[in-house]
Each structure stands twice: as C-alpha cells, then as structure tokens.
Amino acid sequence: MRYLSAGESHGPGLTVVIDGFPSNLPVSKEYIDEQLRRRQMGYGRGFRQRIETDTVEVTSGIRFGHTLGTPITMNVANRDFKNWTDRMAVFGEKPEDLKEIYRPRPGHADLAGAIKYDHEDIRNVLERASARNTATIVAAGALAKQLLEQFDIQVTAHVVELCDVVATDLPASLEQLIERADASEVRCADQSAEAQMIARIDEAKENGDTVGGIFEVIVRGCPIGLGSYAMPDRKLDGRLAGALMSIQAIKGVEIGLGFEAARRFGSKVHDPIAYKEGSYLRASNGAGGLEGGVTNGEDVVVRVAMKPISTLYKPLPSVNMKTKETELAAIERSDYCALPAASVVGENVVAWVIADALIEKFGGDSLEQMKDNFEQYRERVAKR
C-alpha cells in the first residue's frame, strides 16, 4: 500500500492518491471529515483554523460507500485560496507588487529548500513544507483506521508532555484515557497537567514564542507477527519511526521504554513471557509491543517529540538572501502550539503504517479475503 500527496498550503487544495487498498471496505466520509476536524483543533492554534473547515472530496476508488480496490483519490480544498489567488496563481504573470520572502526562518526548511531547488522567493519552499499538508496524511490515515476497525485494532494518541509540564496522573483504562484526551483542549488525559500546559501556551503567546512537547500513540489489538525481522526495511519499528519522523516538526521517536531502556540493566528492561489460557502474555511492556521489528501481541506504544513551531512572532536573527545582510527572520501566520494537532496526525500516521503491515501480512485483494486469511492465522497461532 502506498500514497502520494500534492498541494501547497495556500494553493487551491491538497490531494492524496492511495494505491493498494483492498476492495469492499465500507467507508464513511463523515469519519474522515471528523479526523480532519480533530487535526484542526487544540489550544494554541492560529488564525488559519478559523478560515479552514476541512472536509474531504473523494473523486475515485469508492462507489456507493465501498472501496473498489482501485486507486482512491481524495481532495481537501483550501478555502483561504480565495485570499491568495494573485500570490498563488497556477498560471499567469507574477504580480508586480508581490512581496517575495528572502529572510529564512531558523528551524524551517526555508534556507536549505531555497538553495536545493534554486528558488529566490522562499514562499516556493514554505508552501509545500508547511504542516498544512498533514491534512492529506490524516485523510489517508482515516481510511486506514476504518480498515483496522474491521480487525478490532484500535489506535489513539494523547499528549504526555508540553514544554516542561509532564502528565503523570493518567488513567489505567484505555477507554478512560481516550475519553479524557478527547475532552481536553490539549489532548492531555491528566487534568491538572492540562491546566499547566494551557498556561505554558499562554506564556508563549504573550512572549511571541512557541512550545512543543511529546505525544504518545497506542495501538491495541495487533496480532503477533506484523512486520519482519528478516530485512531492515520490513521491520515495523523502523517503518513507524520513519513515517512519524516525516511529520513536520518531529525530532524524535521512541518505542516502549525508548531511551530509558539505555539507562537500565537488561533485567529491568525486557518483558518476561508467560502462557495462560491459550495465549502468550507479558507482565510488562517495555518493548512497546515490538521485538525484532515484529509485533508481539502487546499494545504498540510509540512516543513522539515535536519541536516548537519555527515561526516566531518575535523572530530570531537571520540573513537576507538577496543582500546577505543580517535581518530578523520572516514572519508567517502560524500557531503558538500545534502539539495537540500533531498527536492526531501521528495517530493517523501510525494507523496507516499498521494497516500497511496488516495488508502485507494477510494479503488478499478484498476485505473478505483478508478476513479469511486473518481468521486462519488466528487459529494457527492458537495452536502454538
């Protein structure tokens, strides 16, 4: 399974084309739109979210609410394009009064991208590098989540750290965690930490600054055996890390104990194996549900570190690429904190990777064939 995306932040719209999806999956447009809505929410978002109300338009690959097994094309319109038609015109002459951007922002793709593609106007870089393009990732992930639900696989995400505030009072029940996170403006299931996180965002806003943090993605219901230890590019932990690192502003990924595992003796890291009532069990989950690049039947747990947004309303020093003089970096309309939204993006990215591994493992051109293969595998596993 694969997808290609296209579009600019202030262009006419964003497009994703998905190939390799099985046929006969019932698909809800409302479900995809809900995931897009969740991506736009969160305390600390900027003015752009008041303009855009993302919904998906499907133009191929689905008929009467079911996938056809052929490429699926989904489009998300940029409503703000009507305010940018002269500056982002696909054809025609460049306006004489166009204000081009020459002052790259530290932390953004501006400088490296302009040099790589021989652009003078940095807008040619930032339009595609923008996190606005994560709308296509979420649309693809929302489709993947609907496939996973057919196999009782659940994916959720919540914020565990924002700046220097750490969530510690988390419910043991996944259902309660989801309920609390969904009710939180910062997607944090610890209510006392939530208030402190909001205060940090307010502080950043007052100072023209930004804040990042860490979110956690949990996958429940994965069967043993997704991924492979045989080749590096088939290891599921590597595929998850690579996909999550491709999200804008993500600077780190850890699975299970992650970096904490490096600080402990092996006896305090690895999860003892038991067998009870026909299943292999673990008393702990330091591995985060993955051993050797393969799912082991426990929850897949991934934590993802997001840096603060690169655009600062009190910008850092930069260089004018035209004059080579020191100037303050350019200011683009942006967020003070996009961590809650990033957690939703991460949730859908993980759903995509897990769905891809599921299709790889159980094959079949249709949902029915996948389910037959899945049930046969479960029966075989039960005998082991």
Binding-site members for NADP(+) are 39, 45
CA distance 20 to 350: 17
Residues in the chain: 384
Binding residue ranges: 39, 45, 128-130, 248-249, 292, 307-311, 333
Binding residue ranges for FMN: 128-130, 248-249, 292, 307-311, 333
